[in-house]
Structure 1
């Protein structure tokens, strides 16, 4: 085991918080840190900066905090979970007024926010190689056609960021699709313990280049 630790910063929403599993049980971040430790043969020190209900705009605002800025500058690994609440809020608004433009407006705004998030991270003065790992979105409402359409559109947008050598996107959509009852909690929205492990495994399988070759 290498003496010098890797620093891992987890930014995002309830998926990063670990909503859906009992207190003190591991969520996605803990599972991913453990898998990373096994693969990299390094101690992984992780920090979470996340809250349930956070949108892409909220995550962007997190990156203006002096503490978070310092975490970013020293991070070897950064994971970001965001976008689900943007679409969830849009779905709730759509149910009330049936205005389909809500989804297109939210998708445009979330893409702009994500672009700003990535630019802000890249513009910080990092002194070493690092990786950013994103996730696409799974659909907790598979029987609502417009929700499925919105999520597929968001997912196609998120993959554009993987053109950067530092960035890769985990495919959670296809892991959850058809396995909702096994991987989601009773609320039908959040992942359960098994779901979080599968999510962490998907991130782990993306590898660690260029921080590890």
Structure 2
């Protein structure tokens, strides 16, 4: 049995501009709406959706958002949770690295960001602990918004490798958006060269849906 918000199972989307849907259009749904539709199709029932996201949010800010009563209540009752985080952290760190060339500082930023995302996940588990119903968490890793700079692939692979280690947490799976976008980034990003276009958002959703919804049944 799924956790219910009213009469419907609840999907909670946490994150940054990728959860907000910057780059999507009115007629082309963003990642969150596409993921909701896929849950509804799979389980053959309507699903309630709540989003807690802000354009430009860092992983630290997303962690702080979890402490707001409205967010805490939603997470406690969610059957499905998605998280987009780390993109702004990495953009800030990468731009600084391009100016200074300080690789050690960039490496530290990667470790700090992954540690914060791990804290987000354990906070989610603590919040949900009062609810005996099963739930699943899907974390999206990072595609490369700067494919023209070859070195960025190395750093993103380091980041995504560390992020993948968080799958050791119960009921967490990492959606490998990085490889889903790899080699096709220019065709999947908007004119700002940062956010996905509608096709990019569809690929993100398909990548997350491909992981299934276990242990929810």
Cα displacement (A) at 1:43: 0.9
1:47 aligns with 2:68: no
Q: Please tell me the root mean square deviation across aligned C-alpha atoms, in Å.
A: 1.7
1:117-156 map, 5 Å = 117-124=120-127, 125-156=130-161
Contact 1:4–1:43 (Cα < 8 Å) also in 2: no
Unaligned runs of 5+ in 1: none
For 2:64, which of 56, 61, 65 is the aligned residue? 61
Cα displacement (A) at 1:119: 1.1
Which SS does the other structure have where 2:46 is aligned?
strand
Query: Which consecutive segments of 4 or more residues in structure 1 shift more than 6 A?
Result: none
Unaligned runs of 5+ in 2: none
1:70 aligns with 2:60: no
Q: Hey, what's the Cα distance between the residues in 2 that align with 1:36 and 1:183?
A: 23
The aligned residue for residue 188 of structure 1 is 193
Contact 1:4–1:42 (Cα < 8 Å) also in 2: no
Contact 1:87–1:150 (Cα < 8 Å) also in 2: no
The aligned residue for residue 161 of structure 1 is 166
The aligned residue for residue 95 of structure 1 is 98
Q: Hey, what's the Cα distance between the residues in 2 that align with 1:205 and 1:49?
A: 23
Q: Which range moves more in the overlay, 98-107 or 35-44?
A: 98-107
Which SS does the other structure have where 2:173 is aligned?
strand
1:30 aligns with 2:33: yes
Contact 1:8–1:46 (Cα < 8 Å) also in 2: yes
Q: Which range moves more in the overlay, 140-149 or 105-114?
A: 140-149
Which SS does the other structure have where 1:49 is aligned?
strand
1:174 aligns with 2:187: no
1:204 aligns with 2:204: no
In the comparison of the two structures, how many residue pairs are matched?
Answer: 211
TM-score normalised per structure 2: 0.92
Q: Which range moves more in the overlay, 17-26 or 120-129?
A: 17-26
